[in-house]
Structure 1
Amino acid sequence: MRLLALLIVLLWSSSSYATTFITLCYEDKNIPPFFLGSGFEVPSHRPGATIEILRGLESKVKNVRFNFVRKPWRRCLNDIQKNKVDAVVASYRSERASFLNFPKNAQGDVDESLAISMLGTCLVGQQGLGQDVANNNYPISLAVPRGYAVLHALHQDLYRVIQTDSQDDAYQLVLKGLVDGALGLCQVYNEQVSGFPYSDVLEPIFPPIDISYGYLALSKAFLLQSPDVAQTLWQELGVMPLHEYYLDYVNNPVNHKIPRY
């Protein structure tokens, strides 16, 4: 009996300290300050603010380890819908709720206080775009990467959207004068920034046209299997100084094109 009791204690102890591995899929394009680098490789140094936050989360939530994989964004969404990966970082949209789990408050609404980011997006363009906006010279032609949630915040009667394969492609169209503007990071929580490429020649138009919240969104299968881990991860994100990570990448660009502000 003593041997049986010892085995039960050992099994319980080992299960209590078992590591939960979370496969998180994120975009294979360079999208500073969130993700740096392109392709399938996850940079070991300065991988992007979002990845650094998740690595910091590992140190706060014991026995949790993230495995990062990079794919085109639509493939990430397809894989998590099929429970091939456990997590993505995504904004909330009602159509995503059928296959993604977001942190919720007591009322059952998505809890913005547990977001992994709160960032403002502005129109970004060459000199003169601000005057066009002030004078209501619409429609304005915008280059925007495919699949970005901010597209849903744009009024179709005000903007003529040209979708591109990447953020840099969008900025190249602006620089060549082929479109009026693009979209860029202009606010990190309550701080105004110029957190977008080519800010030495392009300028943001305030106020932001969209304030977006990004969430650590989990698959249906993961939440079913590890509900306590999910809640712990979300709660820890709610108390981390997340804005410091993003501001660090805006203030201290290394091998990418985000300037100081």
Structure 2
Amino acid sequence: MRLLAFLLVIFCSSLSHATTYITLCYEDKNIPPFFLGSGFEVPNHRPGATIEILRGLESKVKNVRFNFVRKPWQRCLNEIQKNKVDAVVASYRSERSSFLNFPKNAQGDVDESLAISMLGTCLVGQEGLGQDVANKNYPISLAVPRGYAVLHALKHELYRVIQTDSQDDAFQLVLKGLVDGALGLCQVYSEQVSGFPYSDSLEPVFPPIDISYGYLALSKEFLQQSPDVAQLLWQELGGMPLHEYYLDYVNNPVNHEIPKY
């Protein structure tokens, strides 16, 4: 009996220290400052602010390890819906609630204080776009990567949207004068930035047309199996200096050093 009791103690102890592996799927496109690099490879150096935040989260939540995989965004959503992956980073939309779990407050609403990002998106274009907006010279033609949640924030009577395969494709259309503008990161929390490609040639139009919150969104199966881990991850994210990661990437796009906090 003593041997059995001893073995039970060892078994329970090993369970309490078991590592929880989380497969997180993110887009295979270069989308600074969130994700850097293209294709299936996850860069070890300068992977993007969002990936660095999640790697930092591993040091705060013991016995949790992220396994990052890169795929087209719609495939990531399809696979988490089928519980083939455990997590994505996504904005909240009501239709996603059927297959994604977001952090909630006591009232059952999505808790914005536990978001992994709070970023503003502006119209971005060449000189003169701001004047067109001020003079209400609509409709304005916009190039926007397909599948992006910000599309839902656009008033379609004001914009003629051309969907592209990537963010870079969208900016190339602007630079060639084929469309009036694109959408780019212009605000990190309360600070105005020019966090988009070709910011030396293009300029944002303030105020942002959309303020979006990104969340560590978990699969239904993962939340059922590891509810305590899920809550701990969300709570720890709420206490991290997330804006500093994004600002560091925006302000140091080439000679990037991981911030020391």
Report if TM-score (shorter chain) is over 0.5: yes
Q: CA deviation at 1:254?
A: 2.2
Per-residue CA deviations over 1:89-127 (Å, capped at 9, x if unaligned) read 000000000000000000000000000000000000000
Partner SS for 1:137: coil
> What residue identity is the alignment partner of 1:56?
G
SS at match of 1:46: coil
Match in the other structure for 2:61: 61
Moved over 2 A (4+): none
Give 2:259's aligned residue.
none
Q: Partner residue of 1:129? A: 129
Q: Does 1:29 align with 2:29?
A: yes
Separation in 2 of the partners of 1:253 and 1:115? 23
Q: What is the one-letter code of the residue matched to 2:31?
A: I
1:1-261 → structure 2 map (5 Å cutoff): 1-254=1-254
CA apart distance, 1:255: 7.8
Distance across 1 between alignment mates of 2:79 and 2:213? 22
SS at match of 1:143: strand
What stretches of structure 2 of length at least 5 have no aligned partner? Answer: 257-261
Q: Distance in 2 between the 1:184 and 1:250 partners?
A: 12
Distance (whole Å) between structure 2 residues aligned to residue 228 and residue 100 of structure 1: 17
Tell me, in whole angstroms, the C-alpha distance in 1 between the residues paired with 2:206 and 2:199.
14
Distance 1:194 1:163 in 2: 22
> Please, what is the CA RMSD of the aligned residues?
0.9
Structure 1 counterpart of 2:54, which letter? L
1:45-81 Cα shifts (integer Å, max 9, x gaps): 0100000000000000000000000000000000000
Give the match's secondary structure for 1:47.
Answer: coil
State the AA in 2 paired with 1:126.
Q
Question: 2 CA distance for matches of 1:255 and 1:34?
Answer: 16
2:223 is paired with a residue whose SS is helix
CA distance in 1, matches of 2:34, 2:141: 25
TM-score when normalising by structure 1: 0.97
Identity of aligned residues (%): 90
1:172-193 deviation per Cα after TM superposition (whole angstroms, max 9, x unaligned):
0000000000000000001100
1:158 to partner: Cα distance: 0.4
- Report how many residues are paired: 256
Letter in 2 for 1:189: Y
Q: Which residue of 2 aligns with 1:259?
A: none
Cα distance, 1:145 vs structure 2 = 0.1
How far, CA to CA, are the matches of 1:200 and 1:10 in structure 2? 61
Residue 195 of structure 1 aligns with an amino acid whose one-letter code is: G
**Unaligned stretches of 5+ residues in structure 1:** 257-261
Spell out, residue by residue over 1:10-53, the C-alpha distance to the aligned partner (whole angstroms, 9 max, x if none).
00000000000000000000000000000000000010000000
CA deviation profile, 1:151-209 (whole Å, cap 9, x unmatched)? 00000100000000000000000000000000000000011000001111100000000
